[in-house]
Chain A
């Protein structure tokens, strides 16, 4: 008894040490800036800059994300809490909460790893071994350098929270199921209680991020691989069948959607430069890449952006696609064949694939992100830890902890190095460009980081002339690299135009960027980054910071685009803003009317219509617009804006 207590104490001591190590490593990364999607979801999200004294403002803040189908209110609520506590969103504070969540997830993983091993081995393994493996698995996962792009990428708290609730859900399932496998359920109430608890956790998970929807499927994987229909101390064919059905049902459902209602999925590809089959081919390679990164974390290949990855245009282009698919078939076959001997590996592999099924499957998301491995890596670390612990045992004696210690210390060092890189926008940008010279996005974001640095120094009054020139020159050079890598990308051209007009007004470079823009627009489907770039171009053309000819060129560019996409709402809105900027009232009213006719549900339209009516002092029209807005705003997201509108109108009268 005493030895067991000491063992437990030692175990928890190790676990605590790992948590502290993790916190220490991530501490280096806390000064990092908000990045990429953080901006649209957090800092530029007007609903997150809210009046915390109003309860309903918490509601609108919580439902303010456009990122997912369900708007991820739980995650957004935590960001709102961040805002309320610090009276603003500050990267270090937001990231510190993410680190805290990562540690909690680590603790949950420890308990889950214990449960998974107990379910896999039943009585064939000692308690000490189970806990040792659990501690090592937790250490590997907590300190894995790949997860920095989840933990230090603020908005990926969504993935963390979803993982948290999935882990709790799995723990609840394992606790109940372990009991049932020995003695069956005591009452129907116990079964119902389990289902009701799981449904709460499922709801919390999907309301954090839609990946949480994988919880039932992961439970099915656990049933299929670990419990295998064991019920009341013996195998039950019925439960086995339920497990098989639960596992295959999502696959059948997905196939059904693909064959009978592809419209749910295919339209997402309209704005992508790849097709659904190209995505699936590419993902077959990427799943191996992720696996490689997890097993051999070569931080030189890591980064925030992986848009330099080659897209598989067919089964044999590149040839590695075919190899990857064949390797998956062989791997699955082998693992299935030896599933009884290597139960943990069988479980880990299925868990990994199922956990990737949402973001690495048929949905038209971007190709690669490291944070997609946050949940899938959970089960993989357990067999990895088991191998390390077994190797240690094989070595024996005092050296038995060495293999695990080596891995953990190595991971800690790699994580700390990566954290330092992530602690500074410029260093991160520089590292990304260096590690991914073929990634247009890395060049773009490095240029943005340089520009931010430029503005910072100007604001501080510490920018010397030479340094300013050097920064501007560096920006320009990376944007040109970006343009050369992806000649159809609008963002690079817009920014180049801005930079040259601003910093090099007399300079006549090799290109006329707006002319180039005019030439390329419409040659490929517009991506969301293109719309953002066009919006920036409209603003700078109106402000006169994009050169003398920008206004005229922009008219032509927008005209060409609208000829090609006459009903594209974002283009029409850009045209409206442009016409508003140049003061063409009749034309802009016509565009706005067209938008209102085509997209009566779009809140932006009502906002601009109210503005127009206010300008023309048409109070009745303004009320009509508010009414139309209320009618379409089923979620009441705009209710505070409308309330404020009336208060302002009252004050101005």
Chain B
């Protein structure tokens, strides 16, 4: 290790306090920059995960059920949901509370990033490592790319996953750099705990395993273990990590096969996604280092999908770019500086392994960079280290430049936060900067409908429809979905179900006319809230009947569309139709407790006692196999007690 060259003008202890003061200022400024963002609203996936929170009862069993029943990810993300439930219990869930907690969590994570950097840089004998760790962590903390994580309530999931991943990396690095003394068993136990906490916050935390590998292989590789841990030995470590690598490759292979069916619902193939991601990753890099905040936003579904290596040509350049980077790293890997750079670059790439590879997720989201960008923030520190070890006189000036860079980020982030703090402004920003985005146009149409601008709302709705047909990153929207959306918009804007889309809807047909559950959900909602009562609902009911239940009906729909049609008919007190839609729903999902409970309700309303008994039996059977939640069981018991 190299000794640090102390500043001769300032005593060493003063230097330490100066670094501490600088970090305190950075944290304060970052909080100040983010704070106006708490005025923003819930958006996009927030409604899915957080909307039900306000209805949550006080009973602990309800909370536990809610925590364990989220369907956001593969593992249900109970830790993240628990954080929302706790938030609801103590503060009551409002967007402002969620966002404030996210801001604090971001600051906590920044402290972890700074700590990790300090450990890593000190281990590698970096001059001025504390100041450097502060400067580079400031870049990460203040990067405008993180705004769409911090101010997007539900992305607390990504933040918590990052929290546990960073904690585990810190623990491993502390142990590996002999800064703490832990028995290997305890270490492994804590790491496993953190790993599970991470993946139960969001599945991305699985990349933690990759991080241990690259930490060992690229950062701590040439550091021998002390006698105390000699039992593990260098060889055994190599074997252990070789094993982990093999397991990871196997997992990836399995994922490939497992992920492929998911592409059925996407307008692109797995190959096209991978090609596109090569471009997207470069774009993330650019947006991290030289942010163009005007392009940033919530929606990027207007991105051009790479249909082949040459379409668009930037795909080829991106692939060549990544290949070149990895080749250069591979060829020069024996040099320590290259190894450390490789660590940073691989941290970024492996951090994206879950969301930017084979899984059939959407193409582009800024929040996917929250954890991976830690690698990008460390890269300047590695370059700094190599330069300053050779030329110590560069230390202060390079630090000054990094701090100027962070300062430049402050203003970029603050302006982005102001846009995110105003829901209408964010909608306008999204649609202005991404006019080809389906989602941005839909969001704008909703916004305009809410302020009563019906024709403009229809205009944006039409643009959204056209964008969905034109783009290839999202599934093309059906005409019927567009028309149903226009019905909702018209209802919200003018308190009347509009005539034009209704007439148009009578002309649609085909095997899958309505496919958007979200739009149908909104239709059921406006009907339930009686936002636009009137006789046109009868006509709409007839139209849907003709489409799905009539004598010549041949159309199908996602099961939840039938459930929502049943809800609408229930609200209209046409229980026979509601029952028929429920039957269609149950045909697609026979063991659905919600479907069976609905059926029970409608059969009882129609006085079909036999059918009621049969349905109760089916539900009780389901309960015996643990298929009913507490809340569902309570509803069932209500019916059975009424019947008794």
- B451 near A192 with CB under 8 A, answer no
A619 proximity list for chain B (CB < 8 A): 448, 451-453, 456
Query: Would you call B398 an interface residue if the criterion is a C-beta within 8 Å of the partner chain's C-beta atoms?
Result: yes
- Residue A455 at the chain B interface, CB threshold 8 Å: no
Once A643-B418, A643-B425 are accepted as A-B contacts, the answer to whether A55 and B410 lie under 8 Å apart by CB is yes
Determine if A640 is an interface residue (Cβ-Cβ < 8 Å): yes
Whether B453 and A192, one on each chain, are in contact in the complex, defined by CB atoms closer than 8 angstroms, is: no
- CB pair A639 B390 closer than 8 Å: no
Q: Judge whether B397 and A59 touch: CB under 8 Å.
A: no
Stretch in A146-154, A578-586, A622-630 with 4+ CB within 8 Å of B: A622-630
Contact A634 B401 (CB under 8 A): no
Please determine whether A634 and B294 come into contact, CB atoms closer than 8 angstroms: yes
Question: Is the beta-carbon distance between A623 and B448 smaller than 8 angstroms?
Answer: yes
User: CB of A121 within 8 A of chain B?
Assistant: no
> Is there an interface contact between B393 and A59, defined as CB atoms closer than 8 Å?
no
Q: Which residues of A contact B410 (CB under 8 A)?
A: 55
Binds B, one of A183-191, A414-422, A476-484, A528-536: A183-191
Are B421 and A643 in touch, CB under 8 angstroms? yes
Contact B415 A636 (CB under 8 A): yes
A-B contact pairs, 18 of them (CB 8 A): A54-B36, A55-B33, A59-B411, A189-B387, A189-B393, A190-B393, A192-B394, A193-B394, A200-B400, A200-B404, A619-B448, A623-B453, A626-B425, A627-B432, A630-B428, A639-B415, A649-B424, A649-B451
> What is the distance, in angstroms, from A347's C-beta to the closest C-beta of chain B?
27
A189 and B432 contact, Cβ closer than 8 Å, known pairs A55-B410, A620-B455, A623-B453:
no
**Interface residues as binary, A613-653 with B (CB distance below 8 Å gives 1, 0 otherwise):** 00000111101101110110010100110110011010001
The complex places the Cα of A624 from the Cα of B431 at a distance, in Å, of 10
- Neighbouring B residues of A203 by C-beta, 8 Å: 404
Q: Which chain A residues border B29 with CB–CB below 8 Å?
A: 55
Whether a CB of chain A sits under 8 angstroms from the CB of B615 is no
Q: How far, in angstroms, from A619 to B410 measured CA to CA in the complex?
A: 33
Q: A639 to B393, Cβ gap below 8 A? A: no
How many whole Å from B50's CB to the nearest CB in chain A? Answer: 22
- Not counting A623-B447, A627-B431, a sample of 16 additional A-B residue pairs whose C-beta atoms are within 8 angstroms of each other reads A55-B33, A55-B410, A55-B414, A56-B36, A59-B411, A189-B387, A192-B391, A193-B391, A196-B400, A203-B404, A623-B428, A624-B456, A626-B425, A643-B421, A643-B425, A649-B451
**A157 to B457 CA separation, bound complex (whole angstroms):** 50
Contacts of B401 in A (CB 8 A): 196, 200
Asked whether A56 and B422 contact (CB < 8 A) given A200-B400, A636-B415, the answer is no
Contacts of A630 in B (CB 8 A): 428-429, 432-433
In the assembly, what is the distance between CA of A623 and CA of B419, in Å?
15
By a CB distance below 8 angstroms, the chain B residues around A653 are: 451
Task: Indicate whether A197 reaches chain B with its CB closer than 8 angstroms.
Answer: yes
Instruction: List B contacts of A193 (CB < 8 A).
Output: 391, 393-394, 396-397
The listed residue (B387, B397, B421) touching A197 by CB distance below 8 A is B397
- Counting CB contacts under 8 A, is B586 at the interface? no
Inside 8 A of B398's CB, which chain A residues have their CB? Answer: 196
A200 B397 Cβ-Cβ under 8 A: yes
Of residues 418 through 449 on chain B, the ones whose CB sits less than 8 Å from some CB of chain A are: 418-419, 421-422, 424-425, 428-429, 431-433, 444, 447-448
What per-residue 1/0 map shows which CB atoms of A75-99 lie under 8 Å from chain B? Answer: 0000000000000000000000000
Query: Per DSSP, are chain A's interface residues mostly helix, strand or loop, or mixed?
Result: helix
Set of chain A residues within 8 Å of B411, measured between Cβ atoms: 56, 59
**In the complex with contacts A189-B390, A197-B397, A200-B401, A56-B456 CB distance below 8 A:** no
Bound CA–CA A302/B390 (angstroms): 56
Shortest distance between the CB of B590 and any CB in chain A (Å): 47
Encode B484-498 as 1/0 by CB contact (under 8 A) with A: 000000000000000
CB distance from A57 to the nearest CB of B (A): 9
Instruction: Collect the chain A residues with CB atoms within 8 Å of residue B396's CB.
Output: 193
User: Which A residues are closer than 8 A to B by beta carbons?
Assistant: 54-56, 59, 186-190, 192-193, 196-197, 200, 203, 618-621, 623-624, 626-628, 630-631, 634, 636, 639-640, 642-643, 646-647, 649, 653
Which residues of chain B are within 8 angstroms of A59 by Cβ–Cβ distance? 411, 414-415
Q: Residues 22-36 of chain B: 1 if any A CB is under 8 Å from the residue's CB, otherwise 0? A: 000000010011001
Q: Total interface residues on B, using CB and 8 Å?
A: 44
B533 an interface residue at 8 Å Cβ cutoff?
A: no
A34–B161 CA distance with the chains assembled, in angstroms: 56
Contact A189 B451 (CB under 8 A): no
B417 contacts A by Cβ under 8 Å: yes
Task: Decide if B453 touches A620 in the complex (CB within 8 Å).
Answer: yes
CA distance A627 to B444 in the complex (A): 11
B233 at the interface (CB under 8 A from A): no
- The answer for the CA separation of A619 and B424 in the assembled complex, in Å, is 12
Chain B nearest CB, measured from A651 CB (Å): 13
B394 and A623 contacting across the interface, CB-CB below 8 Å: no
> Across the interface, which residues of A come within 8 angstroms of B92, CB to CB?
none
Q: Does B262 contact A (CB under 8 A)?
A: no
Chain B nearest CB, measured from A207 CB (Å): 11
Chain A residues with Cβ under 8 A from B419's Cβ? 636, 639, 643
Give chain A residues whose Cβ lies under 8 Å from the Cβ of B404: 200, 203
Interface residues of B in 380-417 (CB under 8 A from A): 387, 390-394, 396-398, 400-401, 404, 410-411, 414-415, 417
Residue of A190, A197, A646 near B425 (CB, 8 A) is: A646
Which among B392, B422, B444 has the highest number of chain A CB atoms within 10 Å?
Answer: B422
Are A187 and B397 within 8 A (Cβ)?
Answer: no
Please, which residues of chain A bring their CB within 8 A of the CB of B452?
619
Contact among A618, A621, A626 with B428 in the assembled complex (CB-CB below 8 Å): A626
Report the bound CA distance from A188 to B391 in whole Å.
8
Given contacts A623-B456, A627-B432, contact A196 B451 (CB under 8 A): no
> CA–CA, A653 to B393, complex, Å?
62
A647–B421 alpha-carbon span in the complex (Å): 11
Of B387, B447, B453, B459, the most chain A CB neighbours within 10 A belong to B453
Smallest CB gap from B423: residue in A = A646
User: Nearest A residue to B451 by beta-carbon distance?
Assistant: A619
Asked if A631 and B390 sit within 8 Å, CB to CB, the answer is: no
- Interface pairs A-B: 3 shortest CB-CB: A189-B391, A620-B456, A620-B453
CA distance A619 to B448 in the complex (A): 8
In the complex, the chain B residue whose C-beta lies closest to that of A635 is B415
CB-CB nearest in chain A for B447 = A623
Residues of chain B within 8 A (CB-CB) of A639 are: 415, 418-419, 425
Which of B294, B391, B447 interacts with A190 by CB under 8 Å? B391
Name the distance in Å between B294's Cβ and chain A's nearest Cβ: 7
CB pair B432–A631 under 8 Å, yes or no, is: yes
A627 surroundings in chain B (CB, below 8 A): 428, 431-432
| Bound Cα distance from A639 to B37, whole angstroms | 14
Complex: A639 Cα to B425 Cα, angstroms = 9
Quote the shortest CB–CB distance from B588 to chain A (angstroms): 40
Of all chain A residues, which has the CB nearest B30?
A: A55
| Cα distance A643–B40 in the bound complex, in angstroms | 11
CA distance A174 to B269 in the complex (A): 63
Q: Chain B residues near A646 (CB, 8 Å)?
A: 422, 424-425
A168 nearest CB across to chain B (Å): 13
Nearest chain B residue, comparing its CB with the CB of A634? B294
User: Shortest distance in angstroms between A140's beta carbon and chain B's nearest beta carbon?
Assistant: 31
Complex: A621 Cα to B459 Cα, angstroms? 12
Contact across chains for A56 and B428 when beta carbons are under 8 A apart? no
Query: A189 with B394: in contact, given A56-B414, A56-B418, A623-B428 (CB under 8 Å)?
Result: yes
- Distance in angstroms from A631 CB to nearest chain B CB is 5
Task: Please give me the residue from chain B that is nearest to A188 by CB atom.
Answer: B391
Contacting residues, chain A, for B387 (C-beta < 8 A): 189
Complex Cα distance, B32 from A628, in Å, reads 29
Residue of A nearest to B424 (CB): A646
Complex interface: chain B residues within 8 A of A640 (CB): 418
Chain A hits for B393, CB < 8 A: 186-187, 189-190, 193
Bound-state Cα–Cα, A653 to B450, Å: 11
Instruction: Report chain A residues within 8 Å CB of B394.
Output: 189, 192-193, 196
CA distance A189 to B452 in the complex (A): 65
Find chain A residues with CB under 8 A from B448 CB: 619-620, 623
Determine the distance from Cα of A164 to Cα of B447 in the docked complex, in whole angstroms: 51
